Structure 1
Amino acid sequence: MASLNTFNRATSMYDGGNRIKRNSTGSSGRSWTKKPKITNPHPFMLKTEERGRMKEELFLEKTKEMLLEEERLRIPVAQGLPWTTDVPEYPYKPPIKESTEPLDLILHTDIRAIDRAEFDHQVAERINFIEEIKSERERQRKMEEEEEIRKLRKELVPKAQPMPSFDHPFVPKKSILPHTIPKEPKFNSKQ
C-alpha cells in the first residue's frame, strides 16, 4: 500500500509537463484552495469628468429652454382689435402739385460744341485755302516750265545763218595802256 501511495504521490507531483504540484504527505489527493475575492473596481474621480458632467447638464438645460421657447412661440397670441376700428381712418393725402414747367436749359457742353464746330470750320477753310494756294503755285510752276521748254525747243531748231561779209577785214586796235616795265625780284639772301 505504501508503494501505491508513493506512486500516486510521484505521479501527482509530476504532471506531464514541467509543472510540479506540491501536496503535503498527510493529505489525501484533494487540495484545499481558497477562492479569490472578486475585485471591485473603484474608478478615478477626475476633474475633467466633473467638468464634462456640468457642461452636459448646462447643455441639456439650454436645449430644454429652447424647446419650451419654440413651443411658446408656436402658439399664436390673439390680440384684440384696436379702438380705432370703429371709425375708418383715411390716410392724409398731400395737396396736388401743379405740373412743373420745363425750363430752357443752356448747357455748357452745347455752347462748347457750337464753338468747336466754328473752330473746326475755320480750320477746314484755312486748310482748303492753303491747298488752293499750293495747287495754284504748282500750276504756275508747270506753266513756266512748259514755257521754258517751248523756248528751248525754238532755240534748238537749227536756223540758216547768213554768210559773213569779208569786205572789211578785222584789224585789231592798238592798246591804249602803256607797256609793262619789268622789275627785278628782290631776294633776301646775303652774300
Structure 2
Amino acid sequence: LVFVAVSSWSRQPAVARPSVQPIAFPHVVHVQTYKIDCQYCHSDARRSEYAGLPSVERCMGCHKITGAQLPEVRKLAEYWAKKEPIPWVRVNKLPEFTYFPHKAHVRANVKCQACHGEVEKMTTFAAAPGPRLANDLLNLAGFRPAPPPLTMGWCIDCHREQNAREQKKAPLDCVACHH
C-alpha cells in the first residue's frame, strides 16, 4: 500500500506543486474558523468569468484591527503602506480555448467546494494536491476525498447530473465552455 502511494507521489507532474505565494493565505482560518464566505474575498465571482482576488484594501479592512502581529499580516501591511497590489501567483489555469464562467455557477448556487475541493480545510490552495505524500496516503486510505479532476468529462458529468437531478439547464453544448 505504501509502495503504491510513494510510486504515485513520485510521478506527479511538477505543475501540480503548490505555487509559492508572496503571502501565505490560510483558507482554513478564514473560511472554517471565521466563517467568511468565499464571495466576500472573491467578489467578482458573482458577476464575472473570473472569481478575482481581494484587493489589499479589502484584506486590510479586517487586518487593520486584527492579526497585526502575525508575520503574514505584516507582509500584507507592507503592500498596503506602499500602495501596491499583492503579486499573487496564478494557481488555476485553463487551456486558452476554454473558459469557466464563475458567475453562471454562483448564480446556479453551485458550492465553490464542488470544483475547488474542501477549501475550508486547506492551509495552502493549489490547483492539484501535488506531490505531498501525506495527502496521497490520506486519499488512499479514504480519510480525505480526492479533489475533482476538473477535466472536460468531469464538467460534462456534473452538468448532466444537475440537469437530471435538479431540473436545471446546465449547458452541454461545446460553445458553453469553448470559444
* TM-score normalized with structure 2 length: 0.12
Which structure has more relative contact order (CA 8 Å, sep 6+)? It is 2
Higher gyration radius (CA): 1
* TM-score normalized with structure 1 length: 0.11
